[in-house]
Amino acid sequence: MTGSGGASRAKERFPQNIFLVGLMGAGKTSVGKLLAQRLQMEFLDCDQEVEQATGVRVPVIFEIEGESGFRAREAKMLAQLASRKNVLVATGGGAVLSAANRRLLADRGVVVYLRAAPADLWRRTRHDKQRPLLNTEDRMARLEQLFAQRDPLYREIADIIIDTGSQSLGALANKLEHKLLEFKARPGGREDNPASAG
């Protein structure tokens, strides 16, 4: 789509806010940036917004304030971002641990779960040193633990579930765009039983 006509059509076709949830390495930021560009929406990364507000990186916040301190900052920022309109937000992987955050996301927009198997997540994050929760000798075991803990929470609030697999960012964005169109067209919105899209 090009020109102002395309932008207005995109706003008519898609929900005001879209929230991407999923574990670290699922592709929320990469896919989110591409999708937001296509839909003429503003892309926001919750972790990056916390870093800008505090002036330090997430690992430093974890080191100084612990995970609980970071989660408090994350919840406050998420509420600010969710109050805006026409935004596509990549949430932090652990945002769903808070019941209040889950309610907020479900109430303020369409929730898309980018689902990836622990093995894929390990492959994508194995060289990343900026993930405090993966600062462990057995990163694969940690990812499996996080997946077991969080997958049910992501599913609880997801309107759309996409299995990311090994597809390209472009293919994933295309698939997600089509799923959002289907979601928009459904009477009543949310799927009764959101199913994975392979």
pLDDT digits (tens, 9 = 90+) for 87-117: 999 999 999 999 999 999 999 999 999 998 8
| Of residues 157, 173, 174, 171, the one with CA closest to residue 32 | 173
Contact 177, 39 (CB under 8 A): yes
Q: Which of 42, 174, 180, 43 is nearest to 112 (CA)?
A: 180
Kindly report the pTM of this predicted structure. 0.82
Report how far residue 169's alpha carbon sits from residue 113's, in angstroms, rounded to the nearest whole number.
Answer: 15
Strand partners, 110: 18
Amino acid code (one letter) for 10:
A
Q: Note the pLDDT of residue 51.
A: 94
Give yes or no for residue 188 having a pLDDT over 70. no
Higher-pLDDT residue of 24 and 4 is 24
In the CATH scheme, what is the code of domain 3-197? 3.40.50.300
